[in-house]
């Protein structure tokens, strides 16, 4: 089965009206591979600005959402609100949400389920810390995180799994192509065993963790690497090069 390559740009808590105008202008003028699905994710306060200004073949994602439609949840954003702005995607379960804001596996599973019911597509993040990798617990951790999502949903057709080893996020350290492929293959096998062979074959698995213009094309060659979730480099002109990594193979 051919899975369409996907590249997401997670701007995290960065940007201003001015800097994002410049960034989006660069993307709008970029010679982007039409065979790649591209999604950008600015901070909440700039979602409407980016949605209205970015070219229509680039989708926009929220960086998080809550698992309720409305209510007394100060500071939270409902997936229905994202849909109301014309936002198509949401990133859930990012390691920074898990670590800094102490989101549990079950809470992330609930968020994924509610976002899907609302009609959003989800980039569901999983990944292990350096300590967990050194203790040979990578698959144990990743499978536990996947199981919490699988417990809450039946249909994975609008889910992209983003494998992000925590030790490679913002550190400059990158999983080798072999390391990325090993975990991506294990995720696909887990989906085959625990969901269905059809789901495993169809589900795209992104890699995230210090992806840049220099390493993207090498990582993209791996059989089970179906895209990238890019952090810091998505704020730079090299993001266009990363989006075109598959074409440069």
pTM above 0.85, yes or no: yes
Provide the strand spans (E) within the chain. Answer: 6-10, 37-41, 58-62, 89-92, 121-126, 159-163, 205-207, 227-230
Q: Which residues contact 45 (CB under 8 A, 6 or more apart)?
A: none
pLDDT surpasses 90 at 169: no
Catalytic residues: 94, 164
Closest CA to 150 of 115, 112, 182, 117: 112
Domains of the chain in sequence order: 6-243 (3.20.20.70)
Locate 234 and state its tokens. Answer: 């998505």
Provide the strand spans (E) within 137-226. Answer: 159-163, 205-207
Tell me what pLDDT residue 249 has.
Answer: 61
Tell me what pLDDT residue 212 has.
Answer: 94
Please write the tens of the pLDDT for every residue from 45-100: 999 999 999 999 999 999 999 999 999 999 999 999 999 999 999 999 999 999 99
- For the chain, what percentages of helix, strand and coil (3-state, to nearest 5) are there? 45, 15, 40
Go through 84-95 and write b for each residue having 16 or more CB atoms within 10 A of its CB, e for each that does not: eeebbbbbbbbb
Tell me what pLDDT residue 248 has.
Answer: 67
């Amino acid at each position: 089965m051919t899975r369409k390559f996907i590249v997401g740009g997670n701007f995290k808590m960065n940007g201003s009206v001015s800097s994002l105008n410049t960034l989006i202008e660069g993307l709008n003028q970029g010679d982007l591979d039409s065979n790649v699905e591209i999604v950008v994710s600015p901070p909440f306060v700039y979602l409407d600005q980016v949605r209205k200004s970015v070219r229509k073949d680039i989708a926009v994602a929220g960086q998080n959402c809550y698992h309720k439609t409305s209510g007394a949840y100060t500071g939270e954003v409902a997936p229905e609100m994202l849909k109301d702005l014309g936002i198509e995607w949401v990133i859930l379960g990012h390691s920074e949400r898990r670590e800094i804001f102490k989101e549990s596996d079950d809470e992330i599973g609930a968020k994924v389920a509610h976002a899907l019911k609302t009609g959003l597509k989800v980039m569901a993040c999983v990944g292990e810390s350096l300590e967990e990798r050194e203790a040979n617990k990578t698959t144990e951790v990743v499978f536990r995180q996947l199981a919490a999502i699988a417990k809450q949903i039946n249909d994975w057709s609008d889910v992209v799994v983003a494998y992000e080893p925590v030790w490679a996020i913002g550190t400059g350290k990158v999983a080798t192509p072999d390391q990325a492929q090993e975990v991506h293959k294990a995720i696909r096998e887990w989906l085959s065993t625990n969901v269905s062979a059809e789901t495993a074959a169809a589900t795209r698995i992104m890699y995230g963790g210090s992806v840049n213009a220099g390493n993207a094309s090498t990582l993209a060659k791996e059989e089970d690497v179906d895209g990238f979730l890019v952090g810091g480099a998505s704020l730079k002109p090299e993001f266009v090069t990363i989006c075109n990594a598959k074409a440069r193979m």
